[in-house]
Amino acid sequence: MIATFQEAVQYLYENLPMFQRIGADAFKRDLTNTIKLCEALDNPHLRFKSIHIAGTNGKGSTSHMLASILQQAGYKTGLYTSPHLKEFTERIKINGQEITQDFIIDFVNRMQGVVNSIQPSFFEITVAMAFDYFAKEKIDVAVVEVGLGGRLDSTNVITPSVSVITNIGWDHKDILGDTLEKIAHEKAGIIKSSVPVIVSEKQQEVEQVFIEKARESKSTI
């Protein structure tokens, strides 16, 4: 039984594969673990609206600006971003307030059996925690930043009201692909059927990737 916030965070850091610590080996190449975690939590991601944001640069600032605008407009707004700068709680916020330490302690205690069975990554369990927190707090909308890529990112279990792709650059090419087109294809994976997508920078070398994916998905681009 975990009793303190420090113990809960230590459990998350030390027992689960973490990209910042071990690199590409922590990246799971399908959504199976996240789907299982969400099922164990009664699919919290289905209980709120969301905006999904991917891209190489600018996705963090875009996420924070959108969350601020939505909060100012009167919506109870969740924000999920990564990584954190100083404290784990920075990753999960509602109306600018970080997730409570008590919720993290309770979540880890509730989910230890499932975690031991599924063996998810640090990022996968953190995404599940964010969605559980947002659902329990009955938010109106969540702004969800992709961790890495898009298509296989743990956050991609959501079906958002709108998808946003900021731009495409040379990030994590060992995982996402060795051309801009391959990287764009991975990030285009957040485009969902009939869900509009905003691409904030027109880049000639990759724009066709988004056009084709939007056409396949019957999405307005």
The predicted pLDDT at position 47 comes to: 98
Q: Is residue 92 part of a domain?
A: yes
User: Pick from 154, 150, 143: which is nearest to 168 by CA?
Assistant: 150
Distance CA 143, CA 53 (A): 8
Q: Say whether pTM exceeds 0.85.
A: yes
Q: Is residue 100 part of a domain?
A: yes
Distance CA 219, CA 221 (A): 6
Give the chain's domain count: 1
Reported as a single tens digit per residue, the pLDDT across 41-59 is 999 999 999 999 999 999 9
The predicted pLDDT at position 17 comes to: 63
CATH number of the domain that residue 10 is part of: 3.40.1190.10
Q: Is residue 63 part of a domain?
A: yes
Boundaries of domain holding 56: 5-216
Q: Is residue 41 part of a domain?
A: yes
Task: Phi first, then psi: give them for residue 87, nearest 5 degrees.
Answer: -130, 140
Angle ∠(149,53,203) on CA atoms, nearest 5: 70
The predicted pLDDT at position 26 comes to: 47
The predicted pLDDT at position 18 comes to: 54
Ranges of residues in the chain whose predicted pLDDT is under 70: 17-28, 172, 174
Q: Is residue 221 part of a domain?
A: no
